C-alpha cells in the first residue's frame, strides 16, 4: 500500500530585507550549545566512538587518555540507561500511533501554536478537528484539510455538542491538544471579576470540559494522547499577569491529577499525557515583551514547540516539553534561599517586563 500523497501548499519564503540583519553570534544561545553538546560530547554513542578511535591509533589500554575516554564513555552510557529506565518507570511503554487511524482534536487551533499543529497535521492528511471561537470559512478549511467547529471551549454544553459532531464526522477522538488560552495584562487591583472569570474559563475550565467530553472515547478505544499546554509562568508567577499565571498554574496540578487517575484505570494503559510549559513564544500574545537575555532566555519559535509536541505524540510517548532550556529547571527556583530567588527575579526583570512592554496600558485581551 503506497503512502498517502502530501498536499501541495503554496508558501512564500521571507525575503532578505524582511529578516533582521544581525551578527552571527546573536543566534548562539545556551539552548543551541546544549543541543550541540547533547549530540556530541555528552552522547553515549560519540563517547564510545572516541574509545574506538583511540584504539584505532593503537593507544595502549593503560594510557591516561584511554582511561579517561573509557571512564567518560561508561559514565555517559550509565546516565543514558538510567534515563531510559526512569522514563519507562514514570510513563510506561510507548503506544503505537498511526495518524491515519487517529482523530486529533485541538482547542484554540485557528492561529498560534494550535494553528500550526492543526495545519501541519492537515497537510499530512490526518483527521484534525479544531475547536475555536473564531470562524473559518469552508473554502479555507478544505484547503488546509482541517475540520473547524466554532465553539466556546469554556462552555461545557458547547464542547459536548462539538465533540458529538466530531465523533459523527471523523470518529472517536484519540488525541486531544488542550491549547486554547488568553491573557489580559493588568494589576490585581484593576482586574474585574468578569475578566478573571473569563481568563479561567478559557485557560483552565476548558480543559475540564474537553476532558469530560473526550476522555470517555479514549477509554473505550483503550488508547489516546492528551496534551496540556501550560506555561513556565505557572511555576513562577509574574507581576501584572495574576489571572493568567494562576490559571496556568492550575493546569500543572490538573496534569498531575489526570496522570494519577489514569494510572489507576486499567483501560488507560495506552493513554499518554504530555505537559507543555514553554517560555516566551514568538506569538502575538506576548508581542512587545523583551527577554532580558537572548543567550540565556531566548524567545522560542512556534515551530520548535510544535516539533517537540509532535515528536512525542507520534512516538506514542508521555513526557514534558519545556522550551527554552531554562523552563526545564524553573521549578527548582523554590528550592533556593529566598534571597537568591529575589535576586534572580530582579535580574531577569520578569516582574517589570509586562509593564515595560506596554501591555498593561493597552489593556488588551490576547488569545493564544
126: domain CATH number is 3.40.50.720
Residues 313 and 193 in one domain: yes
Q: Identify the pLDDT of residue 358.
A: 80
1 within some domain: no
Looking at the structure, do residues 120 and 250 belong to the same domain, yes or no?
yes
Quick one: what percent of the chain has pLDDT higher than 90? 79
User: Mean pLDDT throughout 202-223?
Assistant: 97
Residue 82 lies in domain = 29-91
Q: Is the pLDDT of residue 2 over 80?
A: no
What residues pair up with 26 in beta bridges, in sequence order?
Answer: none
State pLDDT tens for residues 84-138: 999 999 999 999 999 999 999 999 999 999 999 999 999 999 999 999 999 999 8
Give the separation between CA 150 and CA 159, rounded to whole angstroms.
10
Residues 199 and 292 in one domain: yes
Note whether 256 and 306 are same-domain residues. Answer: yes
Average pLDDT, the chain: 91
Active-site residue, 244 included: yes
The pLDDT-based confidence of 305 (bands split at 50, 70, 90) is very high
Instruction: Please tell me which residue in 148, 149, 244, 326 is annotated as part of the active site.
Output: 244
| Distances in whole angstroms, Cα of residue 270 to Cα of each of 97, 176, 226 | 10, 14, 11
One domain, residues 221 and 261: yes
Band (pLDDT 50/70/90 cuts) for residue 17 is: very low
Domain total in the chain: 2
- pLDDT, position 361: 59
pLDDT score for 359: 79
- 352 and 210 in a single domain? The answer is yes
Based on the domain organization, do 77 and 110 belong to the same domain?
Answer: no
Mean pLDDT over 174-179 rounds to 97
146 and 60 in one domain? no
Helix axes 112-123, 302-315, angle to 10 degrees: 50
Rounded CA-CA distance 165/149 in Å is 9
- Residue 84: φ, ψ to 5°: -65, -45
pLDDT in tens, 21-46: 677 777 899 999 999 999 999 999 99
pLDDT at 9: 53
Amino acid at each position: 500500500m503506497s503512502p498517502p500523497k502530501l498536499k501541495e501548499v503554496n508558501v512564500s519564503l521571507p525575503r532578505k530585507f524582511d529578516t533582521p540583519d544581525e551578527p552571527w553570534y546573536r543566534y548562539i544561545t545556551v539552548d543551541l550549545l546544549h543541543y550541540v553538546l547533547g549530540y556530541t560530547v555528552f552522547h553515549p554513542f560519540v563517547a564510545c566512538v572516541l574509545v574506538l578511535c583511540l584504539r584505532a591509533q593503537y593507544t595502549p589500554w593503560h594510557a591516561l587518555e584511554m582511561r579517561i575516554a573509557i571512564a567518560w564513555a561508561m559514565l555517559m552510557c550509565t546516565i543514558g540507561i538510567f534515563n531510559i529506565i526512569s522514563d519507562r518507570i514514570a510513563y510506561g511503554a510507548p503506544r503505537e500511533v498511526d495518524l491515519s487511524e487517529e482523530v486529533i482534536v485541538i482547542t484554540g487551533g485557528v492561529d498560534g501554536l494550535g494553528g500550526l499543529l492543526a495545519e501541519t497535521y492537515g497537510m499530512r492528511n490526518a483527521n484534525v478537528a479544531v475547536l475555536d471561537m473564531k470562524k473559518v470559512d469552508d473554502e479555507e478549511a478544505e484547503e488546509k484539510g482541517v475540520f473547524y467547529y466554532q465553539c466556546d471551549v469554556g462552555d461545557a454544553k458547547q464542547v459536548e455538542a462539538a465533540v458529538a459532531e466530531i465523533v459523527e464526522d471523523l470518529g472517536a477522538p484519540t488525541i486531544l491538544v488542550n491549547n486554547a488560552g488568553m491573557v489580559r495584562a493588568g494589576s490585581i487591583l484593576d482586574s474585574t471579576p468578569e475578566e478573571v472569570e473569563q481568563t479561567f474559563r478559557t485557560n483552565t475550565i476548558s480543559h475540564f470540559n474537553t476532558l469530560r467530553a473526550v476522555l470517555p472515547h479514549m477509554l473505550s478505544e483503550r488508547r489516546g494522547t492528551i496534551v496540556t499546554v501550560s506555561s513556565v509562568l505557572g511555576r513562577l508567577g509574574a507581576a501584572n499577569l495574576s489571572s493568567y499565571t494562576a490559571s496556568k498554574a492550575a493546569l500543572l496540578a490538573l496534569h498531575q491529577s489526570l496522570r494519577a487517575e489514569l494510572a489507576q484505570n486499567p483501560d488507560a494503559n495506552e493513554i499518554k499525557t504530555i505537559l507543555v510549559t514553554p517560555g516566551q513564544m514568538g506569538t502575538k500574545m506576548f508581542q512587545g515583551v523583551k527577554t532580558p537575555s537572548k543567550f540565556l532566555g531566548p524567545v522560542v519559535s512556534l515551530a520548535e514547540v510544535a516539533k517537540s509536541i509532535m515528536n512525542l505524540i507520534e512516538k506514542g510517548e508521555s513526557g514534558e516539553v519545556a522550551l527554552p532550556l531554562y523552563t526545564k529547571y524553573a521549578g527548582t527556583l523554590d528550592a533556593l534561599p529566598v534571597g537568591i530567588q529575589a535576586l534572580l527575579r530582579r535580574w531577569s526583570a520578569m516582574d517589570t517586563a509586562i509593564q515595560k512592554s506596554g501591555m498593561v496600558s493597552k489593556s488588551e485581551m490576547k488569545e493564544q
